[in-house]
């Protein structure tokens, strides 16, 4: 069962939507260091939420928790109606597979495989590879202006590898795209191009984005900007 939707504070044309992710009073401690101190967060359907903040403040830690990659925290986390602290690791793996796509800062691509093979890897591992998935993967490659050939990704430019990583995150049609500084070290035009493409796909497919970002130009495109400071998230306006 979904929790009731929080007030819409976004600038986007958001219909009445139910939260996909709801986190409250999240506390995360590394040894003596309290990185998150009762942080709360809600992500609604189709929203683009940006998280920003100084280096070392805990943005990647927060994303790892929201993405159920890190179960070692206290507080409440509900994803698609599932209370994750109560879920088994199998249930969490299924939730991630069916519900979320991840773009990591360093892409995590296999350098000797082609773009298409990298993209299909999660489906191959999860046994969901099919003609339909292959068609969708090819369609996403084309939407992201990537060639669908056998070139190993180690030969692709950084911007192209970035788009392959984005395509891989989207191939299982996630409801939520989690991205940790996805455009770090891209030039401004490549960064803007990537967000043009992601935004267009977001509108076509209706997924939500939570992304750790710094660039003012990209931040200004988000429905909401949250700054992580002192272990909690503060709503910011561009
Ligand atoms: N596994 C760990 N063990 C101990 N401390 C950790 C661990 N992971 C992260 N930290 C610490 O937690 C704090 C938050 O780290 P995190 O990577 O979340 O920051 P960040 O906001 O993503 O920073 P950046 O902008 O540089 O990527 C840092 O002080 C970091 O050293
Ligand atoms: Mg980080």
The full set of domains in the chain, from first to last, is 19-108+175-236 (3.40.50.300)
Task: Name the residue of 59, 66, 179 to mutate for ligand 1: max ligand atoms within 8 A of Cβ.
Answer: 59
10-residue mean pLDDT series, the chain (238 residues): 37 61 98 96 96 96 96 96 93 92 89 96 85 93 91 93 92 93 83 89 94 92 96 88
In this prediction, residue 190 carries a pLDDT of 84
54 Cβ closer than 6 Å to some ligand 1 atom: no
Map residue 99 onto helix, strand or coil: helix
Cα(72) to centroid(ligand 2), Å = 18
Residue matched to tokens 């819409």: 8
In this prediction, residue 106 carries a pLDDT of 80
61 Cβ closer than 6 Å to some ligand 1 atom: yes
| Overall pTM surpassing 0.85 (yes/no) | yes
30 Cβ closer than 6 Å to some ligand 1 atom: yes
28 Cβ closer than 6 Å to some ligand 1 atom: no
Burial class (CB in 10 A: 0-12, 13-18, 19+), 20: buried
Which one of the ligands is nearest to 66 CA?
1
Residue length of the chain: 238
């Amino acid at each position: 069962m979904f929790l009731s939707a929080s007030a819409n504070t976004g600038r986007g044309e958001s219909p009445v939507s139910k939260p996909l992710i709801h986190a409250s009073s999240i506390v995360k401690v590394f040894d003596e260091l309290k990185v998150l101190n009762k942080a709360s967060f809600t992500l609604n359907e189709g929203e683009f939420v940006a998280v920003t903040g100084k280096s070392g403040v805990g943005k990647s830690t927060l994303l790892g928790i929201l993405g159920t990659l890190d179960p070692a925290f206290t507080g409440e986390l509900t994803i698609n109606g599932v209370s994750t602290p109560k879920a088994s690791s199998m249930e969490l793996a299924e939730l991630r597979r069916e519900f979320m796509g991840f773009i990591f800062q360093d892409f995590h691509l296999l350098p000797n495989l082609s773009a298409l093979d990298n993209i299909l890897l999660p489906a191959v591992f999860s046994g969901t590879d099919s003609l339909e998935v292959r068609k969708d993967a090819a369609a996403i490659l084309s939407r992201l202006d990537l060639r669908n050939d056998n070139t190993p990704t180690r030969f692709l430019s950084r911007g192209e590898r970035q788009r392959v990583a984005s395509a891989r995150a989207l191939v299982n049609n996630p409801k939520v795209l989690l991205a940790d500084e996805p455009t770090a070290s891209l030039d401004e035009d490549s960064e803007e191009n990537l967000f043009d493409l992601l935004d267009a796909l977001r509108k076509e497919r209706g997924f939500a984005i939570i992304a750790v970002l710094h660039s003012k130009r990209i931040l200004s495109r988000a429905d909401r900007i949250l700054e992580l400071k002192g272990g909690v998230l503060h709503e910011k306006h561009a």
